[in-house]
Amino acid sequence: MHELSLVQGLFSQVKELAFQHQARKVIRIVVKIGPFSGVVMDSFTFAFEVLKEDEELLRHAHLEIIRPGARLCCNLCEREVDAEKEDLDFKGDMLPGQLFSKEKRCPHCGKGSLYPSGGDEILLMQIEME
């Protein structure tokens, strides 16, 4: 994907906020990356570590990534299913495509099939600065 440009976007938001709050340095950046966002974690982390070296303000920033679990929805009864809780063998960074090998039915109604509900978010959650 375009992890480099995502991190560039992240840094421009962080720099603007740091400037508004007259921070001298940013020490922690928390982002939330949904399981269906298509973001490759290693590339994102790599881009973060490389690009932060170019910025005095960000050089000491530590990256924290929150990875919410996959949420699925039933196409018949429309109820939500927490893939991990229901033991659907569905890990956070699985692609929805991997659902097809499973053919799991909805645990609520037993009939419907499950499709991803949301989970494509890429969010800046918190910044800690001094």
Residues found near Zn ion in the complex (CB under 5 A): 74, 76-77, 106, 108-109, 112
6 binds other proteins (CB under 8 A): yes
Binding mask 33-72 for other proteins (x = CB under 8 A): ---xxx----------------------------------
Nearer to other proteins, 82 or 118 (CB): 118
Contacted entry of other proteins, Zn ion, none for residue 99, CB cut-off 5 to 8 Å set by kind: other proteins
Residue 87 CB, nearest approach to other proteins (Å)? 20
- Residue 115: C-alpha distances to residues 4, 6, 63 (Å): 29, 26, 31
Where in 69-98 is the site for other proteins (CB under 8 A)? 75, 95-97
Under the binding rule (CB under 8 A), the answer on residue 2 touching other proteins is yes
**Which token pair is 48?**
């973060």
CB of 79 to Zn ion, least distance (A): 5
For residue 121, give both structure tokens.
């978010």
Residues 53, 49: Cα–Cα separation, whole Å: 7
* 3-state SS track over 63-120: EEEECCCCEEEECCCCCEEECCCCCCCCCCCCCHHHHHHCCCECCCCCCCEEEECCCC
Q: How far is the CB of 103 from other proteins (least distance, A)?
A: 10
Q: Residue 119 in contact with residue 35, Cβ under 8 Å? A: yes
Residue 109 touches other proteins, criterion: CB under 8 A: no
